[in-house]
Structure 1
Amino acid sequence: MSEKEESEMTEIRKMFSAINRKLTVVEEKLDRNTEAMITIRKENLLLKESIKEQDSRLELLEKEVRKNNIIIQGVADENDEKEEKLTEKIQNILTKMGVKVDVEIDASEIRRIGTYKPNGNRPILVKLQKWKTKMEIYKLTKNLKGSDIWINDDFSKKVQAERKCLTTYLQQVRQQGSTAYLRYNKMIIDGKVYGKEHFEMTVKSKDKRTSSERSPLRLNSIKDDKAKNRDMNGQMNWKKRNKKTASTKIGTWNIQTMLGVGKMEEIAREMKNYNIGILALQEIRWSGEGKVDKEDFTLLYAGEDKQGRNGTGFMISKEYRDMIIDFKRINGRISTIRIKNKIANITLVNVYAPTEDASENDKDDFYDHLERACESIPKHDTMIIIGDTNAKIGKEKYLEKVAGKQSLHNISNDNGKRLCNLAAGTDMFIVSTKFMHKPEHKVTWMRPGKTTGNQIDHALISKKREKMVQDVRSYRGANVDTDHHLVIVKMKMRTIVNKKIKTENKKRWNLEELKEKKDEYESELGKQLAAEVEENDIDNTWGHLKKLYDKSDRKNSRQKTKEGV
């Protein structure tokens, strides 16, 4: 190779080396950009979740602000209407309805919504001070029948849009023969709750078809259910449709202590008032383990070694006491009972978890014992965990498989995360977060001296038996001097009833024949007695008399035969 060629090759090598260096720099920049993009995506996802949480918080806050408001429609409107005159109109309407309310005192604000139009009546917003006043007004809205005035709730714009969509389909559902009505942003169809997501709503602004043509209802399951309730002629079988399934109420209640005189009787009285079959109690604070039998109930309790701390137990009504198979004390915070059931026996696990402020060791120890207790339950049993878990269950997306969207809280606390991990590990569902209720019916513990509270008492059930639970909610009316509310789980149970023992048919007296043969019977018995030797032994004498009595009885046909019955 000539010197010229070698120099050219050297130049080419230098050029390739420079290109390689540039490529390396570009690759490094790409790597850095890729890492930056991944970081940005993660931050974007976190930001979206944060925005969703903020939206849900704002929605709850707006709902709370609008809770006591009402909208009055159909009241004659005037241009430059003064506040005093508007207040007078509202007062007259409520007085005619029969509501004993002083609007100037009970309402914080009264105003028209929107701008004045000559041919229209603007709705009137009335902000009431108390929820109780609003309920009194709603009870007497029937007195507005026949007038052009009606009263509605003050819904947010989002809820109004959802209700508008659902109203489009309400008439269609009713035409199918179903009983349907709107409740907040849901449609209730034959007792079942349906949201906007249950309907195919592919609405396009340029589509000129009607809403019924554009988006058919997704109600095949409802049609199938109704078809099952029709006879061969297509007529509705109302007996079958209206047949109610027997349900059992299982309750849980942190009573804080049962050391007070008469406390047990107070709890039993409330249990009877709410027709509860089995009531799980926490913080009994009795020592040891035992059983208390009363006429109307039985109490099974399991406490610590020393009196005054923790303790759980079950109060069982007299109708269910024969169904209890077994009762076990795990420790001062956990106990179980096993109940007879036709489909599968039910094991109730009663828990009183450490508070959120407790140490990590106490929480770990509690959940270790609880996991072992769950593992010891027979596989075919329906497992239910119930009690004071001190757990706030949030609405995080990753909890969808173990918790519902009807929880009172948006973010889970540490106890809530632990409870959800237990539910995932034992294939259970937190049914206390499943059912839609007012916020006050979700609160299970009230902050001392305040009007706010938390939902920390929960119920979990095996996922394969989740449909057994019909409802879960708290009841504020029950009172035994505790800051916890009574929580009731309504569920379907096919209990085993003890079979009646067949008894032999008793012999009946033929009274008519006895009257006719009275003299003959007495003479025959006298002859038999006269012919016998007197006995000294009382047992022998009675046996002898019985034989004579039966002999005379058979002879004179004193007993009715089957033909004579």
Structure 2
Amino acid sequence: MLALELKHFGVAVKGVTEARLIGNDSEDIGEGYHLIWSGDQRTKTNGVALVLDSRTRRCLLSYEQISDRILTAQIQHKHGKWTIIVCYAPTNQASDEVKDRFYAQLSSILAKVSPYDGLTLLGDFNGTLRDTDGIWNSVLGPVTPDCLNDNGLRLLQLYNMHDLVITNSLFQRKEVHKYTWYSNDGGTRKMLDYIIVSRHWRSSITNCRTYRSPELGNTDHRLVVSNLRLRLKAQKSDHRPPKLDLNNLTKSNTCQVYGVSISNRFDCLGQISESVEAWQLFKDLQTSKWRTK
């Protein structure tokens, strides 16, 4: 279901929170998409995942499954590397100790990202934002539909420290295209899921909005999509057949071994009546033998 919806909306990279998958693994999920997840080793709690389409996966350099709340990956693009971090923050009701541990770990990861790399954070941060005094202009745009809670304040402080921008707040949209979470009562709605980029990538973001129509399973969250102008660079394949070293034929020992081998192969051909079949067998035997040398 996830792969079909992502293909329909043309999404190349998707961060998933509350994946509830055990352990660390990856697999193809169909429609050309590949799923990488990081979860608890024993129970189906929390969990984060990253979904890549086939083109982006060919540009994947590495990934690290850090915990059931954080997963990182590096993508090669034309001008360098693109670091993606999928996050699932504790709820606003969680203890300060749990929150402090999560944000300290996330801050440590952000500090290790090269300033020359592109950086994108995807995830459910369980924080609502508001800039009433204009002190967060460097982090927030004009769209902040909610009040500021404790998680939101922690987010703003973290993003300001690492020079990040929240793309959800950059574009004026209809109310229904701003909110990312709806409660079961149908009346409560909030912006909790964010796509964040490093400041020098802000001009590369051309759009960000929420889509309500995708069927993503049993979830009360909506799909948030940002458009990013970026030219990826695929990794070179290592599956090319090895070249034959014909210079070995100048060595006397190699010539002798090759002559005996050819003689033995012709002996085998005498047992085959059809010339086309014999020639094909001879080519296959020679190719397989000398490529292994």
Q: Does the Cα contact within 8 Å between 1:280 and 1:315 map onto a contact in 2?
A: yes
Q: 1:541 to 1:481 in 2, by over 3 A?
A: same
Structure 2 Cα separation of the partners of residues 294 and 418 of structure 1: 35
Q: Any idea what the Cα deviations from partners look like across 1:395-431, whole Å, max 9, x if unmatched?
A: 221111111111222x311111100111111111112
Structure 2 Cα separation of the partners of residues 500 and 293 of structure 1: 19
Residue in structure 2 matched with residue 297 of structure 1 by the alignment: 33
Q: Does the Cα contact within 8 Å between 2:72 and 2:86 map onto a contact in 1?
A: yes
Q: Does the Cα contact within 8 Å between 1:302 and 1:332 map onto a contact in 2?
A: yes
Residue in structure 1 matched with residue 288 of structure 2 by the alignment: none
| Counterpart among 134, 138, 143 of residue 406 in structure 1 | 143
Structure 1 residue 315: Cα displacement:
1.3
Structure 2 Cα separation of the partners of residues 319 and 432 of structure 1: 25
List aligned pairs for 1:283-322, cutoff 5 A. 283-295=18-30, 296-322=32-58
Structure 1 residue 305: Cα displacement:
2.0
The code of the aligned residue for 2:197 comes to I
Structure 2 Cα separation of the partners of residues 469 and 540 of structure 1: 69
Gaps of 5+ in 1: 1-265, 504-534, 550-565
Structure 1 residue 481: Cα displacement:
2.3
Q: Does the Cα contact within 8 Å between 2:3 and 2:29 map onto a contact in 1?
A: no
Residue in structure 2 matched with residue 18 of structure 1 by the alignment: none
Gaps of 5+ in 2: 241-264, 280-293
Q: Any idea what the Cα deviations from partners look like across 1:422-461, whole Å, max 9, x if unmatched?
A: 1111111112111110111001000212233000111111
Q: Does the Cα contact within 8 Å between 2:76 and 2:234 map onto a contact in 1?
A: no
Which is richer in helix? 1
Residue in structure 2 matched with residue 123 of structure 1 by the alignment: none
1:323 paired with 2:55, answer: no
Residue in structure 1 matched with residue 282 of structure 2 by the alignment: none
| Counterpart among 153, 161, 177 of residue 441 in structure 1 | 177
1:422 paired with 2:158, answer: yes
Structure 2 Cα separation of the partners of residues 451 and 268 of structure 1: 29
Structure 2 Cα separation of the partners of residues 345 and 539 of structure 1: 55
Q: Any idea what the Cα deviations from partners look like across 1:459-505, whole Å, max 9, x if unmatched?
A: 1111111111111111000122210001011110111146799x9xx
Residue in structure 2 matched with residue 29 of structure 1 by the alignment: none
1:538 paired with 2:275, answer: no
List aligned pairs for 1:40-189, cutoff 5 A. none
The code of the aligned residue for 1:475 comes to Y
Residue in structure 2 matched with residue 353 of structure 1 by the alignment: 89
The SS at the match of 2:58 is: helix
Pairs aligned (count): 247
Q: Any idea what the Cα deviations from partners look like across 1:117-150, whole Å, max 9, x if unmatched?
A: xxxxxxxxxxxxxxxxxxxxxxxxxxxxxxxxxx
More relative contact order in 1 or in 2 (CA 8 Å, sep 6+)?
A: 2
Q: Does the Cα contact within 8 Å between 1:330 and 1:369 map onto a contact in 2?
A: no
The code of the aligned residue for 2:49 comes to G
Q: Does the Cα contact within 8 Å between 2:60 and 2:235 map onto a contact in 1?
A: no
Q: Does the Cα contact within 8 Å between 1:330 and 1:373 map onto a contact in 2?
A: no
| Counterpart among 490, 497, 502 of residue 227 in structure 2 | 490
Q: 1:364 to 1:495 in 2, by over 3 A?
A: same
Structure 1 length-normalised TM: 0.42
Structure 1 Cα separation of the partners of residues 13 and 270 of structure 2: 55
Structure 2 length-normalised TM: 0.79
The code of the aligned residue for 1:293 comes to D
Q: 1:321 to 1:419 in 2, by over 3 A?
A: same
Structure 1 Cα separation of the partners of residues 267 and 127 of structure 2: 78
Which is richer in strand? 2
Q: 1:290 to 1:476 in 2, by over 3 A?
A: same
Structure 1 Cα separation of the partners of residues 19 and 38 of structure 2: 9
Structure 1 residue 334: Cα displacement:
0.6
Structure 2 Cα separation of the partners of residues 403 and 307 of structure 1: 36
Residue in structure 2 matched with residue 332 of structure 1 by the alignment: 68
Residue in structure 2 matched with residue 277 of structure 1 by the alignment: 12
Residue in structure 2 matched with residue 148 of structure 1 by the alignment: none
Structure 2 Cα separation of the partners of residues 385 and 499 of structure 1: 27
The SS at the match of 2:80 is: coil
Q: 1:540 to 1:294 in 2, by over 3 A?
A: farther
The code of the aligned residue for 1:496 comes to K
Residue in structure 1 matched with residue 246 of structure 2 by the alignment: none
Residue in structure 1 matched with residue 244 of structure 2 by the alignment: none
Q: Does the Cα contact within 8 Å between 1:407 and 1:434 map onto a contact in 2?
A: no
The code of the aligned residue for 1:286 comes to L
Residue in structure 2 matched with residue 256 of structure 1 by the alignment: none
The SS at the match of 1:362 is: helix
Structure 2 Cα separation of the partners of residues 361 and 464 of structure 1: 33
Structure 2 Cα separation of the partners of residues 349 and 422 of structure 1: 14
Q: 1:357 to 1:478 in 2, by over 3 A?
A: same
Structure 1 residue 314: Cα displacement:
0.7
Larger gyration radius, structure 1 or structure 2: 1
Residue in structure 2 matched with residue 369 of structure 1 by the alignment: 105
